[in-house]
Structure 1
Amino acid sequence: MRAVWSGSITFGLVNVPVKAYSATKRHDVALHQVHDADGGRIRYQRRCEVCGKKIDYEHIDKAYEDGEQTVVLTDEDFESLPEAQNDEIEVVQFVPSDQIDPLTLGKSYFLEPQGKSPKSYLLLRQALEDTDRTAVVTFSLRQKTRLGVLRVQDRILVLQSMHWADEVREVDFPAVRSRSTIGTKEKKLAAALVDQFASDFTPEDFVDSYQVELRQLIDAKLEQGEALDTEATFGERPDESGHGDAGEDAEVIDLMQALKASLDKKRGGRRTAAKKSRSTSGTTPSGTEKPDSKASGGRKTGAKTSSSKASSSKASSSKASGGRKTGAKKSGSSGKKPAKSSATSGEKSGSRRRKSA
């Protein structure tokens, strides 16, 4: 398993060096597109509309069009943005866990502690467990600023990306606002049906039956000799080996000093605000000032996570046409190239980032 990101978690002046790994993977059988006449591999080519030449990825830039003009953005342009060099997961809020709407959650990453001592990692994990709160964070990954949450699962800190508030659509279906009356008998029958299906959720009990049947179909075709020579059909496969460079250990300041300094900083901010208030109005503030925090952009709702049962679908069998033999090669899942940078406490710029494919 390769790290996709390297940096540190910061809350207050506490620094927690970590590496991030993708928490999920796809189990789908890898399939290719082939010509139905001769089984030849279909490949897509990137061709320039001006010169007509086939273009490699290294010579491809991105562009923005406003309808009249086009602005070309190079890799150097993206790397020059301040957030492109940010290698920190910054905690901006600790919120009640039930305020995180599951609809806003995205991809998950396991966070592995780095450095000489995991004490700061263990402290953050314990704080989240004891307070039953979720940390709202901001971070940068693959040239994008992202919103996310930190939570604990099986003693591991998990970073989960979130959609920004304006990325979640608001809908209003007319049927939902219907005033149809639901009878007492209907309610009782629905409750009885729920009781029949009631149980504890066990993910291991559910299987992707479509992929199982597809694998069985492929194996049957291989056993019956309905296959083509893979190398002759698809050509030689490129070498996909390669590993990311090991990141440098981040400098970790004394944990107790960092905690005390963070608390003193917050208290100092409240005292300063109180003095300014007295000097301008001559009255004592009646309430405790809330510490400033960056806008999280996340939607807070009271919705709690609900587990839904997966229903398996069966694939329809189809007859082989024309007696033509086709084949598919089983290929492993391709891993993403790591987009990582070396992390040093207190430095938010100057780190080199590997461009992900």
Structure 2
Amino acid sequence: MRAIWKGAVSFGLVNVPVRVYSATESHDVSFRQVHEADGGRIKYQRVCSIDGAEVPYSEIAKGFETEDGDLVVLTDQDMKDLPSNSTREIAVQKFVPADQIDPLLFEKSYYLEPDQTAAKPYALLRQALLDADRMAVVTVALRQRTTTAVLRVRDDVIVLQTMMWPDEIRTPDFAIDAGAPTDAEVQMAHLLVDTLAGDFHSEDYEDDYATAVQEMVTAKIEGGEVRRTPESTPTTGEVVDLLAALQRSVAAAREARGEAS
């Protein structure tokens, strides 16, 4: 992993230099838009809606649209004049019970690694969080903008989770009027919960859609259903080998769980 940010966690008079790493990565299946007739990739141009001319990046500015539909153009200088925070500090504001924070507020997750000289104070903060069963509410400036976040412990590593601002959480605008359930219905619901009760293990779940797409692509490649276009990048066949290896890995994992390949 590559650190995306360096700074220090400060709580009281204790300062813990840390490196920040993204804790998650997306494995969503992505597709390119192509012309069905010949496989050519679809390209998009930056065209002005008024004069129809293609606009170079150097002439593109930021526009803020008002409720009336008017546009206020903000130049690069305007953006530089906005208040920003470039501090490298993750400042602990308070320690709060973990159950007081609605998971709906959580946004992105990052791992914090201590510098070699800060291993002991890092371990101290980690143990304090575990013993108190609390999260540390912090403020941090990521990408030049100050945000609220929390620190918690996961697998002996302190995790920084940025949070949405309260006004970014939407309120449901619908009502649910299903009437009060009967005692028999409640008992049956409890029975169903008890029947399906268990512990959560993330490895028990997999992205069936991504696996199915991968298998479909592999089958088409092995069947020779590959279109060569002038834009295609020459390959040495290694992609086919990689896809086959991935397919075998999926089959082995399923076999280990006693599932049919």
What does 1:119-158 align with in structure 2 at a 5 Å threshold? 119-158=120-159
Q: Which amino acid is the alignment partner of residue 196 of structure 1?
A: T
* Aligned counterparts of 1:233 and 1:102: Cα–Cα separation in 2: 45
> Deviating runs (4+, > 6 A) in structure 1?
none
Report deviation, 1:161: 0.9
What SS does structure 2 have at the residue aligned with 1:8?
Answer: strand
Q: Which residue of 2 aligns with 1:354?
A: none
Q: Which residue of 2 aligns with 1:83?
A: 84
* Aligned counterparts of 1:77 and 1:205: Cα–Cα separation in 2: 50
- Does residue 1:199 correspond to 2:198, yes or no? yes
What does 1:109-124 align with in structure 2 at a 5 Å threshold? 109-114=110-115, 116-124=117-125
Q: 1:9 to 1:117 in 2, by over 3 A?
A: closer
Bigger Cα Rg: 1
* Aligned counterparts of 1:8 and 1:110: Cα–Cα separation in 2: 13
* Aligned counterparts of 1:127 and 1:222: Cα–Cα separation in 2: 54
What SS does structure 1 have at the residue aligned with 2:231?
Answer: helix
What SS does structure 2 have at the residue aligned with 1:116?
Answer: helix
What does 1:221-300 align with in structure 2 at a 5 Å threshold? 221-229=220-228, 232-234=230-232
- Residue pair 1:136, 1:148 contacting (<8 A) in 2 also: yes
Q: Which residue of 2 aligns with 1:11?
A: 11
Quick check: which one's strand share is greater? Answer: 2
The CA RMSD over aligned residues, in Å, is 2.5
* Aligned counterparts of 1:80 and 1:13: Cα–Cα separation in 2: 33
Report deviation, 1:186: 1.3
Q: 1:200 to 1:166 in 2, by over 3 A?
A: same
Q: Which residue of 2 aligns with 1:72?
A: 74
Q: Which residue of 2 aligns with 1:25?
A: 25
* Aligned counterparts of 1:80 and 1:115: Cα–Cα separation in 2: 38
Q: Which amino acid is the alignment partner of residue 104 of structure 1?
A: L
Unaligned runs of 5+ in 1: 237-329, 331-357
What does 1:34-73 align with in structure 2 at a 5 Å threshold? 34-49=34-49, 52-56=53-57, 60-66=60-66, 68=70, 70-73=72-75
Q: Which residue of 1 aligns with 2:248?
A: none
Q: 1:124 to 1:73 in 2, by over 3 A?
A: farther
Q: 1:80 to 1:112 in 2, by over 3 A?
A: farther
Report deviation, 1:4: 1.8
Report deviation, 1:155: 0.8
Report deviation, 1:77: 4.6
Q: 1:62 to 1:143 in 2, by over 3 A?
A: farther
What SS does structure 2 have at the residue aligned with 1:210?
Answer: helix
CA offsets per residue over residues 288-329 of structure 1, 9 Å max, x none?
xxxxxxxxxxxxxxxxxxxxxxxxxxxxxxxxxxxxxxxxxx
Q: Which residue of 1 aligns with 2:214?
A: 215
Unaligned runs of 5+ in 2: 235-242, 244-261
What does 1:170-181 align with in structure 2 at a 5 Å threshold? 170-176=171-177, 178=178, 180-181=179-180
- Residue pair 1:40, 1:234 contacting (<8 A) in 2 also: no
Report deviation, 1:181: 3.0
Percent sequence identity is 48
What SS does structure 2 have at the residue aligned with 1:43?
Answer: coil
Q: Which residue of 1 aligns with 2:181?
A: 182
Does 190-199 or 42-51 show the bigger shift? 42-51
CA offsets per residue over residues 249-273 of structure 1, 9 Å max, x none?
xxxxxxxxxxxxxxxxxxxxxxxxx
Report deviation, 1:83: 3.0
Q: Which has the higher contact order (CA 8 A, sep 6+)?
A: 1
Give me the TM-score of the superposition, normalised by structure 2: 0.80
Report deviation, 1:62: 2.0
Give me the TM-score of the superposition, normalised by structure 1: 0.60
* Aligned counterparts of 2:92 and 2:45: Cα–Cα separation in 1: 43
- Residue pair 1:79, 1:85 contacting (<8 A) in 2 also: no
- Residue pair 2:45, 2:54 contacting (<8 A) in 1 also: no
Report deviation, 1:217: 0.6
